[in-house]
Amino acid sequence: MSRRRQIYEGKAKILYEGPEPGTIIQYFKDDATAFNAQKKGTISGKGVLNNRISEHLFTLLGTIGVPTHFIRRLNMREQLVRQVEIVPVEVVVRNVVAGSLAKRLGMEDGTPLPRTIIEYYYKDDALGDPMVTEEHISAFGWASQDEMHDIADLAIRINDFMAGLFAGVGIRLVDFKLEFGRLYEGDFSRIILADEISPDGCRLWDMKTNEKMDKDRFRMDLGGEVEAYQEVARRLGLLPEGVVSTVLDMDEHRKARGK
């Protein structure tokens, strides 16, 4: 990594210049943050698991025609992705009442929503990622109306697919965060899915027990974060029984050697 030019470091990932123009290497860290980085910690092996889970989900979404920045996974912690101009708006898709929605409306966690809700938040940690409307987004030029139509359509399509995928392995997709970017092709650009999809940005509950299988375990000091992420990967068929510890041990050995 020392020989590559670092472009950006975020809360959960580091971006490096890619091997070809228009590409970026995305490195997944073990760092964990919550409440707009007010709470910080480390979940050992999280980067490895998120890399595999996000690769799997982006690959499947690509097969149903969702355009994404994902090109291929390079190793245990890195992906090669297309370079995009990120739209400065987080898109949150909600199927069940939880988290900030429960607090804002005084509703109980786990209350089913009558229909899927899409919310938008302006990406700015210093401001606490304030919730905004499509009017704000259009007025401040963060995205055009046509782009917002594409974003909303893709968000619903992604939700329909992922809700079914997770339900098939006994997991309820409560809500999740998406980020989108502009991929420039000559004088034109199109909206594609970017960033990652992993237990860091999804609320995933066991359908039988409602046990949390996501970063809420870190937010709420429940413990068992690594085991929860591992279980998500296992149910998705990414880590067969007995392989999880071996994979994470290999990663620790590689890091210790400085590779």
Give the residues of the chain that fall short of pLDDT 70.
1-2, 36-37, 241-259
CA atoms within 13 Å, Cβ hemisphere of 226: 13
| Tokens, residue 131 | 């919730």
Closest CA to 177 of 58, 93, 118: 93
Task: With beta carbons less than 8 A apart as the criterion, state whether 180 and 193 touch.
Answer: yes
Ordered by where they begin, the domains of the chain are: 6-84+226-256 (3.30.200.20), 85-206 (3.30.470.20)
- What string of H, E and C letters represents the secondary structure of 78-113? EEEEECCEECCEEEEEEEECCHHHHHHHCCCCCCEE
pLDDT value for 117: 98
Residue 214: the pLDDT is 96
Digit-coded pLDDT (tens) for 167-215: 999 999 999 999 999 999 988 999 999 999 999 999 999 999 999 999 9
CB 192 within 8 A of CB 84: yes
Angle at 133 between CA 132 and CA 139, to 5 degrees: 95
Q: Give residue 34's pLDDT.
A: 78
pLDDT at 243: 56
The answer to whether residues 193 and 91 touch, using CB atoms and an 8 Å cutoff, is no
How far apart (Å, rounded) are the C-alpha atoms in residues 233 and 166?
A: 11
Q: What is the reported pLDDT for 1?
A: 43
